[in-house]
Amino acid sequence: MENFSEVMALFLSVDNFLAIAAGVLVGVVVGAIPGLTATMAVALALPFTFSMEPVTAILLLVGIYKGGMYGGSITAILIRTPGSPASACTLLDGYPMAQQGNAKKALKTALYSSVVADMISNLALIFFASYLAKIALNFGPPEYFWLICFSLTIIVSVSGSSVIKGLIAASLGIILSTVGLDAVYGTQRLTFDNYNLMDRISFIPLLIGLFAIPEIIDFYMTRVAPHVRTAVAGASLSWKEFKGMLKTVVRGSFIGVIIGAIPGTGATTAAFISYSEAKRTSPRKDNFGKGEPEGVAAAEAGNNGVAGATLIPLLSLGIPGDVITAIILGAFMIHGLTPGPVLFQENLTLVYALFCGIMISSFVLVFVGNAAIRYFSIIADIPKTILLPIVLMFCIYGAYAVNNSTFDIGLMLAFGVLGFVFNRTGMAAAPFLIGFILGPMFEDNLRRTMLISKGDLSIFFRGPITWVFVLLTVASLAFAIRRYWVTRKEEALA
Amino acid sequence: MENSEQIFVESSESQCGRWNPNSILGGVFSILALCFLYYVVPTHIELPYHMQHPLLSPQFLPQLAGWMVLVLSLLLMIDGLLKPPKREAADEYRRGVPVLRQVLMLVAGILYAVFFEQLGAIGSGVLATALLFLASGLRSVWVYALVIVFPVVVTLLFIHVLNVPLPAGTLWESLSLI
Amino acid sequence: MIKLMKSRVKSKIMWTLAAASLTCGGLAQADEWPTDNIRLVVPYSAGGTTDLLTRKVADLLQKELTTVVVENRPGAGSTVATGQLARGGRGSDHMLLMASPGHTIGASIYPNLRYDPVEDFTFVRNVINIPNVMVVPVVSPYNTVAEFIEGAREKELSFSSSGIGSSIHMSGELFKSMTKTNMVHVPFRGSGEALPALLSGDVDVSFENMPTVYPHIKSGKLKALAVTTAEASEFLPGVPTIREAGKGYGLEDFETSAWFGLIAHKSFPEEGIDKLQAALDKVMASEEFKNFLPQFGAEAGRVSGDEFRQFIESELQKWSAVAEDANLKR
């Protein structure tokens, strides 16, 4: 029991609570600014933590991380500008909901799904860290390869009205993802000797360009429509409605936890897998992509389920799963702490104090999130004639700020035109994004596997984990094909 | 805008016949895919001197994706030719759009894309936002006050609060020193 | 990167204006350096190791001199930001860049670089060095460098890295070419992704940065065979240098490390260099700096000024040869 009091002594300080609150608040606000991401917020806040106590410093960063995850979905829902790649999935149903006058309901659904997923994720971190870390260590290149193959099958369910067009979009995304210096041989691929393209196409300009800019272009390619007042007065979310979605949220959280515990896969994959699963099992399949609250819930649950779980490989193995946790790892090291088994042996009280803070951050997110909804949903009431030019300005500044490069502004606008053409021709942007994210992972892990095995293909079936994902891939494909034929038949009959 | 089936503005006037969006899109993409596979890939993706396995080739994934585009767009074209999609009525707001509105948007885009460094974040923000407000025919004066206020406030926020540098504008810098 | 676009759109009038402003700027510079804030460019993204170290150094440096503003300009290794610095122009008399192995490796592998990695710069001071460690998984049958080389001669082994052109990758290539062994390079994106494959034994060896592998060496999940620096590291007592351990296998001259140092444009005011070096000496003698280093398994940088330049020249020679050997030169 003396351990308990030590933990409390370490955790119960005004600084820690302030750090959590400030972190979540900063995260939500920065995440909600188009072009600024949670990653950027964490990176920029890092120098400020140099002089803080270790627990306070890390809680501040974790707070920003969690706040940023939610903040990204606010703009995704309200102005179709995803703050992070993961919230591109939230946008699929969140933005249509907002356009139908249900902005408030969409934002609340996102918030409560996020919070529930966040708590489940935290509990997984606290109670199953060592167990889940073992899974992470068993994930070599062949296991990743099959996980990515399985993830690629979700393209079918986010393809919108036409699976063929969705697959074309995904293939185009894959082609663009190969631009840059080759990861194995260092040869130039599709760079056309342009220096700006050697490090691959920057992600943020692509993301904003693909989703936010087409809305703006479309607005100026049409006559001004009278402004429809919608959001602030829109209906909120009732407990009954949320209870109906709880199953989806919990499933999404678990998907997030598993994906999060495997380093290097990321929140985007989790969000889309969760979304795809929700759509597959929903009785209202056809409403997905047209403003289905359950779609928002699934996406946010998957997305936030990752947040706590990425700390599992970080804390128990010292392996950062994404850029943000890599920065948090840096913060640990700045304060003379080395995450990994040693941390649990030597600084157990500190670890538990961190756990307390991380749990508290979920509750803080409820309050900050609700306040944010109140103020941000005013955006939905600003006429588009005024709102869109200002959104464009934010997007431009944000795109520039990523690499301090005007090239990225041009890139973003070019992707905006592409996204506009996509919209007008019934191609979906989401498969393009998935292709762009998963393409390199597919290739990297295929090649790593081949390099490790020296060309022996049997390595692809080397253990139970590979088989599980092979079966999941096959099942998912079979299901997609069956569903495709059923709908075609229905169409033919109609 | 939803990603549901939408129709070219031009084709909405005519009946959806053999030349519908699907067959045109499929045709265009298959030609592009052929160019990509037979010109761009061999000339713009260098091969290394030594490769352990053909699956490791830098050209493998682009080629795979290129072939997928080719096959799928042929399918899309055939699908469009055999079974033209149902025509959907185009949005009434898409017709009779003043050309000036589109031109002003284009100019604003070019301002940002080409002159961002020269005009600076504030300069280009003010100009482009003003152009876009004009494009919508906004009349009230207080709205144009926003044109100045917003870029200035946002730029200062980025630079001083978020610690993200934005360009001040090389044009102004050189003018002020003379 | 912007200059190219700029030159296309800028009219002749603009050039005259710019020229006029430059001369005016020159006249106004009678005051003592520094007349402005120092801009310290990190050629990598925010949040990485280079960024972290730079921000700490900047923090300490501004207590000695003047305000130091850190800017991240990532792109193409570190060559985009370095190229910008090389071109000079307005403000380059207050601009510094935190160079790292990417400076010399990038120059060895990137095609048609538009600058000379030595001639276009002034070398201020080497601030921090982080050794690399040759580590094998705990399941590996090899316990010494000699055993490992014998093993690598019998069958093809693999080494992982955080990406092509990283100091980790190039250390492996250097090892290959010096020992005349044939190892397969398995690239990952960042050390975080590379670690699991190394811990589980999917790859046979890595020449990772000290801070990444140190906790795993301590917890017994990785075996440290040698450190890559010329002198043994105080953090890993009992672990030999690769030079000692690889005697008789052609490794007598082996030395690599992740070094970090400040460089500036070639026409940086001399007065500024002197002041910077003096300030850096103070920074590096401070308790805070000395306490900070061990968190990263790092050592204080040794060389400054001309010695630093010579160090860069020798690094450049080494990596060009390795890049040539490994067919990485484009």
Q: What single-letter amino acid sits at B36?
A: F
Query: For the segment C82-108, what is each residue's pLDDT rounded down to a tens digit?
Result: 888 888 777 788 888 888 888 888 888
Nearest alpha-carbon partner for A305 in A379, A255, A343, A347:
A255
Share of chain A above pLDDT 70, in %: 97
Two domains, one topology: C35-129+259-325 and C131-245: yes
Nearest alpha-carbon partner for B157 in A36, A199, A148, C183:
A36
Contact partners of C by the rule of 3+ C-beta pairs under 8 A?
A: A, B
Residue in this structure with the two tokens 């007598």, named with its chain if needed? C252
| Confidence class for position A474, pLDDT limits 50, 70, 90 | very high
**Do A368 and A220 contact (CB within 8 A), yes or no?**
no
Q: Is B123 on the interface with A (CB under 8 A)?
A: no
CATH class assigned to C35-129+259-325: alpha beta
Nearest alpha-carbon partner for A491 in A155, A162, A92, A154:
A162
Burial of A329 (0-12, 13-18, 19+ CB in 10 A): buried
Nearest alpha-carbon partner for B44 in B35, B32, B56:
B35
Residue C179 tokens, joined? 């020992």
Distance (Å, rounded) from C-alpha B153 to C-alpha C146? 64
The reply to whether residue C14 touches residue B49, judged by beta carbons under 8 angstroms, is no
Q: Is A452 on the interface with B (CB under 8 A)?
A: no
Q: Calculate how close chain B gets to A393, using CA atoms only, in Å.
A: 6
Which chain A residue has its CA at the smallest distance from B65's CA?
Answer: A171
Which of B21, B58, B98 is facing A189, going by the closest CB pair? B58
Peptide bond before A440: cis, by omega within 30 degrees of 0? no
State the Cα angle at C30 between C28 and C35, rounded to 5°: 75
User: What are the helix and strand counts (H, E) for chain A?
Assistant: 20, 2
Q: Inform me whether the pLDDT recorded for C18 exceeds 80.
A: no
Q: Is B48 on the interface with C (CB under 8 A)?
A: yes
The reply to whether residue B113 touches residue A188, judged by beta carbons under 8 angstroms, is no
Residues 6+ apart with CB under 8 A from B108: A389, A392, B127, B128, B129, B131, B132, B135
DSSP state of C304: B
Q: Is B78 on the interface with A (CB under 8 A)?
A: no
Q: What single-letter amino acid sits at A483?
A: R
Q: Inform me whether the pLDDT recorded for A381 exceeds 50.
A: yes
CA dihedral sign of residues C161, C165, C167, C173: positive
The reported pLDDT for the residue numbered C29 is 46
Residue A154 tokens, joined? 């979700």
The reply to whether residue B125 touches residue A397, judged by beta carbons under 8 angstroms, is yes
Q: Is A226 on the interface with B (CB under 8 A)?
A: no
DSSP state of A463: S
Residues 6+ apart with CB under 8 A from A78: A95, A98, A103, A107, A231, A376, A377, A379, A380
The reported pLDDT for the residue numbered B20 is 79
Distance (Å, rounded) from C-alpha C129 to C-alpha C119? 23
- Residue C318 CB neighbour total at 10 angstroms: 18
CA dihedral sign of residues C221, C226, C231, C237: positive
Give the A window 278-337 contacts with C, CB below 8 Å: 317-321, 323-327, 329-330, 333-336
Give the range with max mean pLDDT: A215-224, B64-73, C25-34, C282-291. B64-73
Residue A87 tokens, joined? 């919230």
**Do A280 and A479 contact (CB within 8 A), yes or no?**
yes
Q: Calculate how close chain B gets to A171, using CA atoms only, in Å.
A: 5
Which chain C residue has its CA at the smallest distance from B166's CA?
Answer: C71
Q: Inform me whether the pLDDT recorded for B1 exceeds 50.
A: no
Residue C181 tokens, joined? 């062994």
**Do C195 and C135 contact (CB within 8 A), yes or no?**
no
Q: Inform me whether the pLDDT recorded for C2 exceeds 60.
A: no
Residue C111 tokens, joined? 């095609």
The reported pLDDT for the residue numbered A1 is 45
Which residues of chain B neighbour C21 with C-beta distances below 8 Å? 173-174, 177-178
Residue in this structure with the two tokens 């055993």, named with its chain if needed? C147
Residue B140 tokens, joined? 């009230």
The reply to whether residue B45 touches residue A175, judged by beta carbons under 8 angstroms, is no
Best interface-test mutation with A: which of C6, C166, C193 has the largest number of A CBs within 10 A?
C193
Burial of B142 (0-12, 13-18, 19+ CB in 10 A): exposed
Residues 6+ apart with CB under 8 A from B125: A393, A396, A397, B150, B151, B154, B155
Distance (Å, rounded) from C-alpha A322 to C-alpha A290? 31
Contact partners of A by the rule of 3+ C-beta pairs under 8 A?
A: B, C
Which of A289, A390, A451 is facing B3, going by the closest CB pair? A289
Q: Is C1 on the interface with A (CB under 8 A)?
A: yes
Residue A401 tokens, joined? 């700020």
* CATH node for C131-245: 3.40.190.10
The reply to whether residue A396 touches residue B136, judged by beta carbons under 8 angstroms, is no
Which residues of chain C neighbour B46 with C-beta distances below 8 Å? 330
Nearest alpha-carbon partner for A454 in C33, B167, C203, B166:
C203
At residue B15, what are phi and psi to the nearest 5 degrees? Answer: -70, 145
Give the B window 37-76 contacts with A, CB below 8 Å: 40, 44-48, 51-53, 55-56, 58, 60-62, 64-66, 68-69, 72-73, 75-76
Which residues of chain A neighbour B162 with C-beta distances below 8 Å? 30, 36, 44
Which of C2, C9, C21 is facing B174, going by the closest CB pair? C21
Least-confidence region, from A342-351, C3-12, C289-298:
C3-12
Q: Calculate how close chain C gets to B1, using CA atoms only, in Å.
A: 34
Residue A342: its H or E element: helix A341-346
**Do B85 and B5 contact (CB within 8 A), yes or no?**
yes
* pLDDT top residue among A173 and A341: A173
- Cα–Cα distance list, B71 to A173, A375, A421, B34, B59 (Å): 16, 49, 21, 10, 18
DSSP state of C111: S
Query: For the segment C227-242, what is each residue's pLDDT rounded down to a tens digit?
Result: 998 888 888 888 999 9
Q: Is A140 on the interface with C (CB under 8 A)?
A: yes
Which residues of chain A neighbour B68 with C-beta distances below 8 Å? 167-168, 171
Contact partners of B by the rule of 3+ C-beta pairs under 8 A?
A: A, C
The reported pLDDT for the residue numbered B47 is 85
Q: Calculate how close chain A gets to C65, using CA atoms only, in Å.
A: 19
The reply to whether residue B118 touches residue C9, judged by beta carbons under 8 angstroms, is yes
Residue C206 tokens, joined? 């890595």
Q: Is C7 on the interface with A (CB under 8 A)?
A: no
Give the A window 318-377 contacts with B, CB below 8 Å: none
**Do A387 and B138 contact (CB within 8 A), yes or no?**
no
Which residues of chain B neighbour A435 with C-beta distances below 8 Å? 65
Which of A401, A422, A427 is facing B158, going by the closest CB pair? A401
| Confidence class for position A63, pLDDT limits 50, 70, 90 | very high
Distance (Å, rounded) from C-alpha B110 to C-alpha B112? 5
The reported pLDDT for the residue numbered A456 is 87
Which chain C residue has its CA at the smallest distance from A319's CA?
Answer: C192
Looking at the DSSP bridge assignments, the partners of residue C223 are: C136
Which residues of chain B neighbour A442 with C-beta distances below 8 Å? 61
| Confidence class for position C13, pLDDT limits 50, 70, 90 | very low
- Cα–Cα distance list, A134 to A313, A317, B104, C17 (Å): 9, 9, 58, 64
Q: Is C18 on the interface with B (CB under 8 A)?
A: yes
Q: Is B174 on the interface with A (CB under 8 A)?
A: no
**Do A279 and A295 contact (CB within 8 A), yes or no?**
yes
Best interface-test mutation with C: which of B170, B171, B178 has the largest number of C CBs within 10 A?
B170
Least-confidence region, from B13-27, B110-124, B136-150:
B13-27
Alpha helices in chain B (DSSP H): 21-35, 41-44, 60-82, 99-135, 141-156, 170-176
Average confidence score pLDDT of chain C: 82
CA A264 to chain centre: 13
Share of chain C above pLDDT 70, in %: 89
> Has the ipTM of the complex gone over 0.90?
no
- Beta strands per DSSP E along C85-204: 95-99, 121-137, 157-161, 183-187
The reported pLDDT for the residue numbered A482 is 85
Residue C4: its H or E element: helix C2-9
Query: For the segment C165-217, what is each residue's pLDDT rounded down to a tens digit?
Result: 888 999 999 999 899 898 999 998 877 788 888 988 999 999 998 888 888 88
| Confidence class for position C73, pLDDT limits 50, 70, 90 | confident
| Confidence class for position B93, pLDDT limits 50, 70, 90 | low
